[in-house]
A and B are shown apart, each in its own frame.
Chain A
Amino acid sequence: EADIYQTPRYLVIGTGKKITLECSQTMGHDKMYWYQQDPGMELHLIHYSYGVNSTEKGDLSSESTVSRIRTEHFPLTLESARPSHTSQYLCASSESGRTDTQYFGPGTRLTVL
């Protein structure tokens, strides 16, 4: 089991609320990622980071933002949640190197009413 954690596991909130999804890893990995995935569908990369103070947008445009102040921590924030943000959010990390094997957290299932 990978040492990467996500909280909360499930979140149901109303439209307009600000939320932060937490992701932490204890493996000392430099690279971290956020994916969005609808049930039974493919993964879409929305943000990634290659180290502290480094963040980039992914392939799928997202209204969320991320920060990387500490190596182990990569939170994702939605300033004003909408029903279209309802999805599963997966966090992953990998160490620098050529294999790029990623280790995933259990995910956060977000429902915006």
Chain B
Amino acid sequence: SQQGEEDPQALSIQEGENATMNCSYKTSINNLQWYRQNSGRGLVHLILIRSNEREKHSGRLRVTLDTSKKSSSLLITASRAADTASYFCATAGFQKLVFGTGTRLLVSP
């Protein structure tokens, strides 16, 4: 299975701090995606990074990808209470998208 493992499982920070989440996977990929899930809701796509890219930015989000280490990180800068959610990485290979185990982020005011 190429399921992503995310680290940490849970993260608690103060507003204004940066939050970093990591994702490791097992097999070759075409792209890696990050999703956000608010409590009790569906997932929302945040950002996609292709296998030939190393870094990508979108607003306060920065994603890196290291295919040699089979790992990715998601950085949320200047976090807000509204960023409180679960974050999932998902890897797209030759078969269907496979989701990681998720990181629960709590941002306190």
Contact = CB atoms under 8 A, between A and B. Distances in A.
Contacts of B43: 43, 90, 92, 102, 104
Main secondary structure on chain B at its contact with chain A?
strand
Contact of A100 (B41, B97, B100, B102): B97
B45 A101 contact: yes
A101 B42 contact: no
B99 interface: yes
Contacts of B82: none
A109 B39 CA distance: 12
Which one of A88, A98, A99 has the highest number of Cβ atoms from chain B below 10 Å of its Cβ? A99
B40 A109 contact: yes
Contacts of B104: 40
Contact of B96 (A41, A42, A48, A98): A48
Contact of B101 (A6, A42, A104, A107): A42
Interface residues of B, number: 22
A104 B44 contact: yes
A42 B99 contact: yes
Interface size class of A (residues with CB under 8 A): 20 to 34
A98 to B, nearest CB: 6
B92 interface: yes
A94 B96 CA distance: 10
Given A40-B86, A42-B101, A100 B96 contact: yes
B33 interface: yes
A42 B45 contact: no
Given A41-B102, A100-B96, 17 more contacts: A40-B86, A42-B88, A43-B99, A92-B42, A94-B97, A98-B31, A100-B97, A101-B45, A101-B48, A102-B43, A102-B90, A103-B45, A104-B43, A106-B41, A106-B42, A107-B40, A107-B42
